[in-house]
C-alpha cells in the first residue's frame, strides 16, 4: 500500500466492515478454505480481524494465525480482542509487505480485498510465495477487481497458479519453478 490510512478513516471503515460481517458472515467464505486444526495461517491485510478470529478457532491450540496489516490501530484492536478472549494463537505483524515469517511455514494465506490497494503487488506476491508451504494454498478475493484481472494480477509473475474458483474466492497454489 502506498501509505497507512488515517485512524479516523480506519474507524469508519472498521465500523462498516462490522456491519457487513453481521449481514454476510465471514465464516461462509472461510468454509471454502478448509482450514484445519494445527494449520498456520497468514491473514494478509487483516484489517480489524473479520477473518483472523474465525481462523483462530479453526486452527485450534496447536495452530497459529498471523494477522498482518500496515495500520497499527487495526493490530491494536486485534491484540486487545485476542487478549480479552484469551487467544494465544494469534500474532500480529505491522508491515505493508515483509512478514518476518520463516520460509515455507504457512499452510493457508487469506488475501482478501487488499490487492487493489497495493503499491508494489509483485513484492507482496514474492513475500507470500516465500512463506507458503509447497502444498499450501492462497485464498484470494478482491471485490474491486474482475475475475480476469485477479487471475492475471496474481499469476503474472509466475509465482502462483490458479487451482480452483469457489463461490466467493479464487484458490491459488505456489507454482513449481
Q: Is the pLDDT of residue 22 over 70?
A: no
28-87 residue pLDDT tens? 889 999 899 999 999 999 998 999 999 999 999 999 999 999 999 999 999 999 999 999
124-151 residue pLDDT tens? 999 999 999 999 999 999 989 999 999 9
Helix-helix angle 72-84:7-23, to 10 degrees: 50
Q: Are 154 and 147 in contact (CB under 8 A)?
A: no
Q: For residue 28, what pLDDT is reported?
A: 85
Mean pLDDT of the chain: 90
Q: Is the pLDDT of residue 90 over 90?
A: yes
Q: How far apart are the first and last CA of the chain?
A: 27
Q: In which band, very low, low, confident or very high, does the pLDDT at 11 lie, cut at 50, 70 and 90?
A: low
SS3 40: strand
Q: For residue 25, what pLDDT is reported?
A: 61
Q: For residue 29, what pLDDT is reported?
A: 87
CATH number of 7-174: 3.40.50.150
Q: In which band, very low, low, confident or very high, does the pLDDT at 10 lie, cut at 50, 70 and 90?
A: low
Q: In which band, very low, low, confident or very high, does the pLDDT at 5 lie, cut at 50, 70 and 90?
A: low
Q: In which band, very low, low, confident or very high, does the pLDDT at 176 lie, cut at 50, 70 and 90?
A: confident
The pTM is what? Answer: 0.89
Cell of 53: 478470529
Give whole-number Cα distances, 119 to 3, 5, 77, in Å.
9, 14, 25
**23 or 103: which leads in pLDDT:** 103
The ranges assigned to domains in the chain are: 7-174
Q: For residue 161, what pLDDT is reported?
A: 96
Amino acid at each position: 500500500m502506498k501509505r497507512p490510512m488515517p485512524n479516523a478513516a480506519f474507524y469508519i471503515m472498521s465500523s462498516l466492515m462490522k456491519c457487513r460481517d453481521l449481514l454476510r458472515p465471514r465464516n461462509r467464505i472461510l468454509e471454502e478454505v478448509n482450514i484445519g486444526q494445527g494449520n498456520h495461517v497468514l491473514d494478509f491485510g487483516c484489517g480489524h480481524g473479520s477473518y483472523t478470529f474465525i481462523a483462530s478457532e479453526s486452527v485450534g491450540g496447536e495452530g497459529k494465525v498471523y494477522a498482518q496489516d500496515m495500520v497499527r490501530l487495526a493490530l491494536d484492536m486485534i491484540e486487545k480482542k485476542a487478549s480479552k478472549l484469551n487467544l494465544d494463537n494469534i500474532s500480529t505483524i505491522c508491515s505493508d509487505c515483509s512478514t518476518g515469517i520463516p520460509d515455507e511455514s504457512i499452510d493457508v494465506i487469506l488475501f482478501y480485498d487488499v490487492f487493489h490497494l497495493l503499491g508494489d503487488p509483485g513484492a507482496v506476491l514474492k513475500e507470500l510465495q516465500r512463506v507458503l508451504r509447497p502444498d499450501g494454498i492462497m485464498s484470494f478475493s478482491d471485490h474491486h477487481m474482475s475475475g480476469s484481472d485477479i487471475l492475471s494480477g496474481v499469476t503474472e509473475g509466475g509465482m502462483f497458479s490458479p487451482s480452483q474458483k469457489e463461490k466467493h474466492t479464487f484458490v491459488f497454489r505456489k507454482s513449481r519453478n
